[in-house]
Amino acid sequence: MEYLEQHWQDIAKEAGRIQEIVPISTEVRTPEDGNYDLNGDITKHWIRGWTGDPGWLNFGIIYIGQLIPYAQKECPNTTIALKKLSKEHPITMAGFSWLKPKTGIPPHTDKTPGKMTYHLGLNVPILNLVNVK
């Protein structure tokens, strides 16, 4: 965790760059979705969260314990950080979430096995209230 916290600015730069260069898919993820092809086209897009809300977007970096090749190429600093963290705590899922204004993520559990969720705020507008439960 310490490495992530020390290098959050590098990770934030990569997340911002991904926001600018990666297109948004029209596909919607659902809680029932199965495995994705880690080299498939969907991994090169922002995809909607399973609620279908167009304001909650996800860009995967690790899916079911596997690094996504496109994300690894485009996010080298984030990949290094996740690899270091994964040595201590295996990571099942990791990526960037993009929440547009007035968007929230409802309380939920994913079908992907995991023991901990960690959200590292990278670009959080000061004037907006953030409600984390």
**pLDDT single digits (tens) 101-111:** 888 777 766 66
Q: Which domain holds residue 18?
A: 2-99
**Angle at CA of residue 94, ends 121 and 118, nearest 5°:** 45
Q: What is the pLDDT of residue 125?
A: 72
Q: What is the pLDDT of residue 129?
A: 56
pLDDT of 36 > 70? The answer is no
Average pLDDT over residues 19-43: 75
pLDDT of 38 > 80? The answer is no
Of all residues in the chain, what percent carry a pLDDT higher than 90?
A: 27
Determine how many CB atoms are found less than 10 A away from the CB of residue 27: 12
The predicted model scores a pTM of 0.81
Buried b (16+ CB within 10 A) or exposed e, 91-110: bbbbbbebbeeeeeeeeeee
The whole-angstrom separation of Cα 48 and Cα 89 is 27
Determine how many CB atoms are found less than 10 A away from the CB of residue 83: 14
* Domain membership flag for residue 119: no
Q: What is the pLDDT of residue 64?
A: 81
Nearest to 61 by CA among 94, 83, 19, 15: 94
Q: How many domains, the chain?
A: 1
* Domain membership flag for residue 65: yes
* Domain membership flag for residue 108: no
pLDDT of 98 > 80? The answer is yes
* Domain membership flag for residue 122: no
pLDDT of 17 > 90? The answer is yes
Q: What is the pLDDT of residue 61?
A: 92
